[in-house]
Amino acid sequence: MAKGSALNSLMKHRKRLDDVTMREQFAIDPNRFQRYSATGAGILLDYSKNRIDGDVMSALFDLARAAGVEERRDQMCEGEHINITEDRAVMHMALRYQGDKPVPVDGKDVMPDVRAVLKAIENYTNAIRSGEIRGHGGAQFTDIVNIGIGGSDLGPAMVTLALEPYTRADLRAHYVSNVDGAHIHDVLKRLDPKKTLFIVASKTFTTDETMTNANSARDWIADTLGEEAVPNHFAAVSTNIPACAKFGIREDRIFGFWDWVGGRYSVWSAIGLPIALAVGYDNFAKFLQGADAMDRHFLSAPLEDNLPVIMAVLGVWYRNAWGFSTHAVLPYDQRLSRFAAYLQQQDMESNGKSVTLSGKSVGWSTGPIVWGEPGTNGQHAFYQLIHQGTDVIPCDFLIAAKPHESLPPHHDKLVANVLAQSEALMLGKTKVEVVEELKAQGLSKARIKELTPHKMFPGNRPSNTLFYEKLTPETLGSLVALYEHKVFTQGVIWNINSYDQWGVELGKQLAKALLPKVEGKQSGEGHDSSTQGLLAYYLANK
């Protein structure tokens, strides 16, 4: 984004629309939905309930073109090291590529390796699910515990929940991520070690939380079944194969991936192993196919019809021209209850940056705070603020046309609610409407005057609605890839590196330095008074 001209142009459009409401725009234009909706990879995006008109959208697409979104997209596909600070290619699309062309990274076609790992996952998954591979004492596995954090946890955990209808009751997946011992303790207390398989998932295989949990799991198996049982109860997923072997994982149970896959983009890699175990390899393959369908849409559709690009430029519009700082993701799908948490890492770890590619301070706002919970639960919690609070929060609503279960009238009610929310946010409720309503209830003039301001809704609050036929593995793959490409596009427009995450390092470094002091092995001197005070409290009370 070139600070002066691009921002100025957006601000001019914003001023022009300051006094125009969507309510008026819908009244004037009966084709607004047709004009501002698009489809790709089986997903319908209705973006008509946004503060936009044709000129705004043209300016936003011009901005994306001028920022080089198309060129950057090509560079990413060609394996250029667009992750400049880590000097790496960004090739997660290769993990789900369904075509037969070579995909070169650093001069080597990566597809044979990608397919070999997928084959190994398929074989291992089938062998666990059929009972061919069993625990040390010969019992069939009933519980899989994935130990990982960040990208090595959030993706598989979110997908396993989302694809619950495809899981088997006799093979359950659990996820342990937090270094808080409560997490592993509470998961293991219900499990039988003889029937439990652990997957240690870590790109680096050095992440402290994961290694601490992995060691506790290892002790649990060794203490209950004997040291010799360990190799039969562990598998690993990592780019660091020697470290996996050192931990004691059998060579044929180590599933690799590569440094051109970022942690938060790794759900398509062997990091998806617990998904394949939980829902079967064929369904995992369909998840990859759905993502590939969205990739093809992203790579080929003109920017004006391109779902990820449309969502990206709308996000830029709100962030940079209107100053809206948060973005809510509100799936009307209970099984997408971890979707917002997953997107928090995908979006905020990618675009939570404040220097440009050349290391200068950005002169504009970058990634928003992403948050959300499934509807209708959110309606009874935080929607009050979305409707009547002082902040405007652009929302994405997600909803399937068909539920997995036949439980009328649940789904019709769910759909009525999601449609009502976006309509209510857009329309609001005017003073005249409130007064009419209160008069009809027979309230006194004085009471009407008192209540009216409380019952008015400002409206003109923006939202997208993503509609899809059913939450299948394919649809979920397409949805996740849609958001990945949205984040990519925004990163290009903001001229930042969406693929590094230096911001998590400082806390890690300080925690390492503090550990011996927390353990009481070193004095806490030299820290600020707050840290020293908290340390003293801990040591006195532990």
- Looking at beta carbons only, is 25 or 345 nearer to ligand F6P? 345
Q: Which residue has the tokens 């950057």?
A: 72
Interacting residues of 402 by C-beta distance below 8 A, sequence separation 6+:
411, 469, 470
Please report whether residue 202 would count as binding ligand F6P according to CB under 6 A.
yes
In single-letter form, the type of residue at position 231 comes to: P
CA 421-426-427 angle, to 5 degrees, is 100
Cα gap 198→174, rounded to integer Å: 9
Q: Which of 48, 160, 210, 472 binds ligand F6P (CB under 6 A)?
A: 210
Please report whether residue 151 would count as binding ligand F6P according to CB under 6 A.
yes
Which of the ranges 88-96, 201-209, 404-412, 476-484 carries the binding residues for ligand F6P, by CB under 6 A?
Answer: 201-209
Catalytic (active site) residue 92: no
Cα gap 235→231, rounded to integer Å: 8
Catalytic (active site) residue 349: yes
Number of shown-chain residues binding ligand F6P (CB under 6 A): 14
Q: Which of 32, 49, 174, 203 binds ligand F6P (CB under 6 A)?
A: 203
Strand 143-147, strand 395-400: pairing: unpaired
Minimum CB–partner distance for residue 276 and ligand F6P (Å): 18
Check: CB of residue 266 under 8 Å from CB of residue 275: no
Kindly identify the residues of this chain, within the stretch 488-527, that bind ligand F6P according to CB under 6 A. 501, 504
Please report whether residue 17 would count as binding ligand F6P according to CB under 6 A.
no
Please report whether residue 149 would count as binding ligand F6P according to CB under 6 A.
yes
For the chain, first and last CA: distance in Å?
51
Strand 463-468, strand 395-400: pairing: parallel
Please report whether residue 204 would count as binding ligand F6P according to CB under 6 A.
yes
Minimum CB–partner distance for residue 203 and ligand F6P (Å): 3
Q: Which of 207, 283, 422, 478 binds ligand F6P (CB under 6 A)?
A: 207
Please report whether residue 213 would count as binding ligand F6P according to CB under 6 A.
no
Please report whether residue 367 would count as binding ligand F6P according to CB under 6 A.
no
- Looking at beta carbons only, is 152 or 460 nearer to ligand F6P? 152
Q: What is the SS3 assignment for 335-375?
A: HHCCHHHHHHHHHHHHHCCCECCCCCECCCCCCCEEECCCC
Residue ranges of E strands in 184-298: 196-201, 234-238, 254-256
- Looking at beta carbons only, is 150 or 372 nearer to ligand F6P? 150
Minimum CB–partner distance for residue 329 and ligand F6P (Å): 19
Residue ranges binding ligand F6P (CB under 6 A): 149-152, 202-204, 207, 210, 263-264, 349, 501, 504
Q: Could you give the residue numbers annotated as active site?
A: 349, 380, 508
